[in-house]
Amino acid sequence: MAKAPVRNRRSTKRGMSFKSSTYFYDLPDVPTKEISALTNTKPAIATSVGHGLKTGDVVWLESEENGAINGYYLVDVSNEDTFALMILDGEDIGTITDAKFTTPKRYSFCDATSVKISAFKTKEINVTTICDEDSVVELETEPGTISLSGLWEPDKAVQSFLEDMAEEKETIFFTMKPKGSKRMRGYQVKITSYDWDGKSEDKWQFAMELKINGRGRKLDMTTGAK
């Protein structure tokens, strides 16, 4: 009698790391690396001689002349002196002569076993006026959210960092590149909830909710395409 074929079974062991390169970035020091030029292109190209960056790095950009550009960016390196700032639209920033950048501290986050990203949400707003014959409805964009859950061992440095940032309501940066994907995504976020409990033997379960602040950054690591 023929035997039934043996089926491969996937392991469901708890505590396996999420198949993704996932990172959080610390609040930056005062930027000290000068940018001598920032183009009015989309994306904006920064010139900084001997910048020392590589494609996929994260920088904090800052300017007193135009504070609207301040924030975290993924970079696409052109050469040793120039790099693109994803997703900074240089067409709207005018001339900036005082821009500086720094590279924030990075924490790997292999503890996550589940990641759910809702990049943005929309809702309908009734903007009908007395001059309109028919009802007028517009779509308004609301901030998106990121949900993380998984298992970790207490007292890791990244946990202390995240707990401090949650308590201080600070904006931080989160990046993720799924295994096998060529695209990296980054989001400025604030932590809105931070929970953990000890129902998982030697590892603790955690759950976090993050609110996305502004547009997401994305970068094709193979071509630099936006």
Distance CA 94, CA 114 (A): 41
Convert the pLDDT of each residue in 135-154 to its tens digit: 888 887 788 999 999 888 87
Q: Is 9 exposed, middle or buried (0-12, 13-18, 19+ CB in 10 A)?
A: exposed
- The SS3 of residue 160 is helix
Which H or E run contains 157? helix 157-168
pTM for this predicted structure: 0.81
Q: What band does 52 get if pLDDT is binned at 50, 70 and 90?
A: very high
Amino acid at 79: N
Q: What band does 15 get if pLDDT is binned at 50, 70 and 90?
A: very low
